[in-house]
Amino acid sequence: MKRKKILKWFGIFFAAMLVFTFLSRAADSVSVAKIHASAPQNQIISHIVSGTGKIEGSRECAVFVPEGLKIAQVYVKPGEAIKREQAILMILESSIQESIQKKQDEIQELSLKISDIQSQKEINDQKKQNETKRAQEDLDAAVDNGNINISNAQNEVNIAQQRLNEYRARRAAEEAARQQELENGEADFGDGTDGQGNDLTDGTQGNSEADRQQEQALMDDVRAKTEALNQVIMNRNREVKEADRAKQDAAIPQVQDSTEETLQTQLERRNEELGELNVLLDNKGEVFSPLEGVMKTVSAQTGGQTSQEAVAVVYELTGELSMTGRITREDMEYVSVGAAVKLEGVSKTVVENAVVQAVREDEAEPGTFVMTVAVPESGLSVGESVEFTVEQSSGPYSCCVPLTALYGQSGQEYVFVVDTVDSILGEVQMARKVSVQVKEKNQTTAALAEGTISSSQKVITEANREIQDGSRVRLQQS
């Protein structure tokens, strides 16, 4: 009986061990990482930069509305298709009327100012004309008066000169007559010439002194008259010169004053604005699209006010198209001007030969770049969302593994290769850590430096749990 009991326990023990064998196997199968592995491939690394962009037109049309008006409602959104004469937004009528009143006041004010300026200008012109006329008259008077004075002085000089000449002529005649008498007396009294001569000479000398004084007086008179003439001439020239300068001063044009033109321009602008406001009022405050297209931007907001900037910008449907999309700084390495871009619109239209036109950093969002792509003629339309793809290939590389097989940080990458190890459980697969050097990689594949992994080795590409060096793994059939 005792032996049977022991044998029973023996049986129970082995049965329990059998059960635990299955349980431990089941637990082991759960705990062992299930992996997918593949051998390194020889392939080309393609860098694909993709994202979403929007087709834009190259021709744009801005819609302006007079400043300071209250916006009652905005009807459209950016990217929305719009037809010609379709309402973009509506302005509050009371706001328009208020603005019209204000414009009218401004126009009236400007008109009055212009009128004042014109009146002032006429007076100034008249003054100027008078001033010029008077200067000319003064000049003419100075010339005429001067000429008369010179003529008078010249006459005085001539008279004095004539007196002197007449005196000298009379003296010469008297001298000639005396000489004749002397010649006649010599013939009568022969030897007494010297004595007579001496007497005559003495008598002549008394007359000569008086004559010289008279002649001197006449000569002084001539000299005085001549000086007077010179003085008159100088006076005349000075007066003429002064009059001429006064005339020249009077001829100087007035300072340019553009106030009137400015006010006139302002007046015209106000009139135009008034006209626009009247049109707006006639349209019951609605602002219409000037053409058929797609809304690019709508800066106006319901409840806001219009500003100097356009309330909306509309893309024209005609003209060349472009696409703008955003890429990251990392993507910049693979995107350059001139690179080919593939576009696929929501309408399933595919464009293969689009070209990158420009890439610039977004100032509002540093680190993000805006890529502009020239879109050739295609079925894509303005405002359509497109998926863009820029592809750049390098290689081929002889040792490429999926990126999911790569672990570690940049410069310290490693992969796990599958080793078959003889263990108590039989031949089992174990993960072995192998440090690698990455030559190139993209979003899916990494090219490793040759020599680190042989082509016969299998690299773990996928695991259902974290694995470490020496971890047991279970290879799953792909």
Partner 1 sequence: MMKKILTVLVFFMAAAAVFPVLFLVCGSLMGNTELSQILLPVLGDGEGFASWKLMPLYPTFSHYVELLLDSPEFFVMFWNSVKITALTLTGQMLVGTPAAWGFARYRFPGKKLLFTIYIALMMMPFQVMMLSNYLVLDQTGLLDTLTGIVLPAAFSTFPVFLMYRFFQGLPEAVIDSARIDGAGEWKIFFSIGIPLGSPGMISALVLGFLEYWNLIEQPMAFLKTKEKWPLSLYLPNIGTEQAGRAFAASVLALLPAVLVFLAGQDYLEQGIVSTAVKE
User: The tokens of 196 are what?
Assistant: 């007579």
Rule CB under 8 A: say whether 425 interacts with partner 1.
Answer: yes
User: For partner 1, which residue of 3, 77, 348, 360 counts as binding (CB under 8 A)?
Assistant: 3
Nearer to partner 1, 39 or 428 (CB): 428
Q: How far is the CB of 465 from partner 1 (least distance, A)?
A: 15
Nearer to partner 1, 21 or 180 (CB): 21
Scan residues 359-418 and list those touching partner 1 (CB under 8 A): none
Axis crossing angle, helix 259-282 with helix 93-188, rounded to the nearest 10: 160
Rule CB under 8 A: say whether 23 interacts with partner 1.
Answer: yes
User: The tokens of 335 are what?
Assistant: 């995107």
Question: What 3-state DSSP class applies to 420?
Answer: strand
Nearer to partner 1, 9 or 189 (CB): 9
Q: How far is the CB of 11 from partner 1 (least distance, A)?
A: 10
Single out the segment in contact with partner 1 by CB under 8 A; choices: 1-9, 178-186, 193-201, 330-338.
Answer: 1-9
In degrees to the nearest 10, what's the CA dihedral of 460, 465, 469, 474? -60
CA angle 205, 206, 209 (to 5 degrees): 85
Nearer to partner 1, 17 or 123 (CB): 17
The phi, psi pair for 213, rounded to 5°, reads: -65, -40
Rule CB under 8 A: say whether 14 interacts with partner 1.
Answer: yes
User: For partner 1, which residue of 348, 422, 468, 477 counts as binding (CB under 8 A)?
Assistant: 422
Q: Which residues contact 210 (CB under 8 A, 6 or more apart)?
A: none
446 alpha carbon, distance to own chain's centre: 47
Rule CB under 8 A: say whether 27 interacts with partner 1.
Answer: yes
Contact indicator for 343, 56 with CB cutoff of 8 Å: no
Q: Tell me the helices (H) and strands (E) count for the chain, helix number first.
A: 4, 20
Rule CB under 8 A: say whether 31 interacts with partner 1.
Answer: yes
Size of the site for partner 1 (CB under 8 A): 22
- The identity of residue 369, as a single letter, is F
Single out the segment in contact with partner 1 by CB under 8 A; choices: 171-179, 205-213, 246-254, 422-430.
Answer: 422-430
Single out the segment in contact with partner 1 by CB under 8 A; choices: 22-30, 159-167, 278-286, 391-399.
Answer: 22-30
Rule CB under 8 A: say whether 9 interacts with partner 1.
Answer: yes
**CA–CA distances in Å: residue 93 to residues 18, 205, 282, 284:** 92, 123, 10, 7
Q: Which residues contact 281 (CB under 8 A, 6 or more apart)?
A: 93, 96, 97, 100
Taking the C-alpha atoms of residue 370 and residue 174, their distance in angstroms, rounded to an integer, is 123
User: For partner 1, which residue of 17, 210, 255, 364 counts as binding (CB under 8 A)?
Assistant: 17
286 alpha carbon, distance to own chain's centre: 33
Q: How far is the CB of 326 from partner 1 (least distance, A)?
A: 52
Strand 33-38 to strand 472-475: parallel, antiparallel, or no bridges (unpaired)? Answer: parallel
Single out the segment in contact with partner 1 by CB under 8 A; choices: 3-11, 80-88, 145-153, 432-440.
Answer: 3-11
Rule CB under 8 A: say whether 24 interacts with partner 1.
Answer: yes
Rule CB under 8 A: say whether 468 interacts with partner 1.
Answer: no
Q: How far is the CB of 32 from partner 1 (least distance, A)?
A: 10
Sign of the C-alpha dihedral, residues 450, 453, 459, 465?
Answer: negative
E-state strands within 58-106: 60-63, 71-74, 81-82, 87-91
User: For partner 1, which residue of 21, 165, 213, 328 counts as binding (CB under 8 A)?
Assistant: 21
Q: How far is the CB of 25 from partner 1 (least distance, A)?
A: 5
User: For partner 1, which residue of 255, 258, 424, 468 counts as binding (CB under 8 A)?
Assistant: 424
Q: What is the binding site for partner 1 (CB under 8 A)?
A: 3, 6-7, 9-10, 13-14, 17, 20-21, 23-25, 27-28, 31, 422-427
